[in-house]
Amino acid sequence: MSVTEQDVKYIESIVEEKLKRLLSERKKRMAIIASKGTLDMAYPPLILATTAAAMDIECAIFFTFYGLDIINKNKNKNLQVPSLANPAMPVPMPNIIGALPGMTAMATMMMKSWMAKVNVPSITDLLNIAVESGVKLIGCQMTMDVMGTKKEDLMDGIEVAGAAAFMEYASGADITLFV
């Protein structure tokens, strides 16, 4: 029995349909690296990750270097806005003034009050939503060793892993972001 051209076309159409179905069923994936430990830089990864989860996009955030503070329960309620070298401050502040003691606390207080006015959720709220909605939060093992951070210092529900583990996850991602 020989295979006709018609047979080949038939098989191809079945394979194509199956592939299409598999691709549409596959969840999209986002991988984010959070590397900064200031209040303003803690927001973007958490806002995007929680939104991704709400949009049925699988998501993981890898917290590395100063970004580890975002999931450090002793520190993440006191993340600060830098008053130095930030020309985009809504209230313009010359660096020489921004360098004075207490200015970082003031800049932070101002930012927090503006955010409260328009009901922006707190970092703690966003972290809780992230955990509840299945966002994978990964602490960087190497950073923990460098900074002397212990697993007990981190929030509950955190995974600890290294670069290779994150890369393995990110290699299957549709969206990757470095913050």
Partner 1 sequence: MEKKGNKPDGVLDCRKLSCPVPVLKTKHAISKLEIGGILEVICTDPGSVKDIPAWAKQTGQELLEIVHENNHYNFFIKRVK
Contact positions toward partner 1, by CB under 8 A?
Answer: 47, 50-51, 53-57, 118-121, 129, 133
Torsion of CA 49, 54, 58, 62, to 10 degrees: 20
As a whole number of angstroms, the distance between CA 110 and CA 131 comes to 28
Taking the complex as a whole, how short is the minimal distance between the CB of residue 47 and partner 1, in angstroms? 5
- CB-nearer residue toward partner 1: 48 or 68: 48
Q: Is 177 exposed, middle or buried (0-12, 13-18, 19+ CB in 10 A)?
A: middle
Alpha helix segments (H runs only) across the chain: 5-25, 39-54, 95-98, 103-117, 123-132, 141-147, 163-170
As a whole number of angstroms, the distance between CA 149 and CA 37 comes to 14
Q: How far is residue 56 CA from its own chain's centroid?
A: 16
End-to-end Cα separation, the chain, in angstroms: 61
